[in-house]
Amino acid sequence: MLGSASIESLRFPWGFVTENLLLEAFLSQCARVLRLARRRHPDGWI
């Protein structure tokens, strides 16, 4: 479902912007999780 919706939204500039914002939010969330994990394990298993 998400795949077809993203392909549809890529036809419009606002869809492209929305996808970029979602991707940026997802990446920032991943970075936050990795930072917390790294802080919790100072040996750096990541």
* Mean model confidence pLDDT for the chain: 75
Does 18 or 45 have the greater pLDDT score?
18
Angle, alpha carbons 25-37-2 (nearest 5°): 30
Q: What pLDDT score was predicted for residue 44?
A: 57
For residue 14, give both structure tokens.
Answer: 């606002």
Distance (Å, whole) CA 32 – CA 13:
29
Q: Are 4 and 13 in contact (CB under 8 A)?
A: no
Domain boundaries, the chain: 7-40
Does 35 or 45 have the greater pLDDT score?
35
Q: What pLDDT score was predicted for residue 18?
A: 84
Q: Is the pLDDT of residue 21 over 60?
A: yes
Q: What pLDDT score was predicted for residue 1?
A: 45
User: With helix as H, strand as E and coil as C, how does 31-44 read?
Assistant: HHHHHHHHHHCCCC
Categorize the per-residue pLDDT at 40 as very low, low, confident or very high, splitting at 50, 70 and 90: confident
